[in-house]
Homo-oligomer: A and B are copies of this chain.
Amino acid sequence: MTTATLTIDLSAIAANWHALNRLTECETAAVVKADAYGLGIDRVAPVLASEGAREFFVAVAEEGTALRRILGPGPRINIFSGHMPGDTDMIRSADLTPMINSVDQMILHVEAIPGHPFGIQLNSGMNRLGMEPSEWSALREIALSQGPSMIISHLACADTPDHPMNAAQLAVFREMTEGTGLPLSLGATGGILMGDDYHFDLTRPGIGLYGGLPYVDARPVVTLDLPVIQTREVPQGGTVGYACGWTAQRPSVVATVSGGYADGLIRALGNGATVTHEGRKAPVVGRVSMDLITVDITDLPETPGHLQLIGQHQSVDTVAGFAGTIGYEILTSLGARYDRVYLT
C-alpha cells in the first residue's frame, strides 16, 4: 500500500469537547464546517452529538443539508453564511437555522419561509460577516418580533488575548445585544480561553476540538504516517527533486516518501521541515512534489518503512510553522487519498 495513513482519534475529539465545555458555565456547541476541519464530518459529528452537543455550526447550507442526513432530527444546525438566494429549499427541508447577516437576508428569509427559525449575526468589528450597527438599529425591532433563536458575533483576534480588538468587540457586542433577552454567543475556542466575559450563553469551539492552537491543552487528534517508497544514496554535490531544489552537502541517504501537495503537504513545506521516525527527526529536502516528498535519512539508525509528519513528536501546529501557516490550514488541506483510520 502506497497511500499514507491518516489516523483520527475520535475519543480525543470527544475529550476536547468535554474539556472545553468544563471551562464554561454555558452551553457548548461544535463547529464542524469544512468537513469537520478536514477530519470527516460523517464520523466526527455523530460522536459529538452522542457526547452531548446539541448545537452545530457549518459554513453553508449545503454542508447543513449533509449534516442533517448524518445527525437526523434533533440537534440544531446553524449556518454561518445565513440565508442566500437558492438556499431556501435546503433550509426548509433540512430544518437548518441560518444566521441572518444583512437586511437583504432578513427580507429573503421572512418572505420565503415565514416562521422558520433563524438567528442573527452581528458585526462587532471584524467586518466580515454580520449586520452593521446601523442595519441592526433599523431592523432590530422587526427582527426581534420574529423570535430569533440567538444572536452571535465573531472575534477577529481571539488567538491574541491581549489584543485591544477583543475588548472593543466585546463592548460593541454587549451594546448591540443589550435588552434583547436572547441567547448570545461570541466566543469560539480562543474566546473560551479568554474567560467568562466572552462566554455568554453558548460557545462555539472549532479548532480546539481538533487538537489545534490556541488550545494548548488539547489532546492531539491526528497522526499522519507516510510510506517510504524507496531510498537511495546521493553523493556529495548530488541534487534532489524539482529544480534541483536540494544539494547534498555530504554523502547522503535520501528516502522518497508517498505524500505530496495533492495530499495537503502544502508546497510551502520543503527545506526546513522535518518528519520523524521513532522520535528522531529527519529533514525534508528539496521541493514537495504533487505525490511525493524526499527526506534525508542519513542520520537515522535504520531504514524506516514509514515516516511520520504529524503525531506525538510533531503537532499540527509545528507542521504549520514549517510552512508559515496555521494548524487550521494543515487540517483542512488533508487530502482524499489517505487511508483514514478512526480510533474510537
Contact = CB atoms under 8 A, between A and B. Distances in A.
Interface in A54-84: 59-63, 80-82, 84
A337 interface: yes
B2 A127 contact: no
A239 interface: yes
A230 B60 contact: no
Interface residues of A, number: 74
Interface of A: 1-3, 33-35, 37-38, 59-63, 80-82, 84-87, 101-102, 104-105, 123, 125-129, 132, 156-157, 159-160, 163, 165, 227, 229-230, 232-234, 238-244, 254, 256, 258, 260-262, 266-268, 286, 289-292, 294, 324-326, 328-329, 332-333, 336-337
A82 B46 CA distance: 38
B291 A326 contact: no
14 contacts: A34-B290, A34-B337, A35-B336, A37-B262, A60-B258, A62-B337, A80-B291, A82-B230, A105-B230, A126-B241, A128-B241, A129-B292, A157-B243, A267-B329
Query: How often does this chain occur in the complex, in copies?
Result: 2
Contacts of A101: 229-230
A140 to B, nearest CB: 17
B105 A291 contact: no
A291 B64 CA distance: 14
B240 A1 contact: no
A11 to B, nearest CB: 24
A57 B127 CA distance: 46
Nearest to A245: B156
B232 A81 contact: no
B63 A337 contact: yes
Most central of A87, A232, A268 by chain B CB within 10 Å: A232
Contacts of A85: 1
A224 to B, nearest CB: 16
A268 B230 contact: no
B229 A129 contact: yes
Contacts of A33: 262, 290-291
Contacts of A126: 240-242
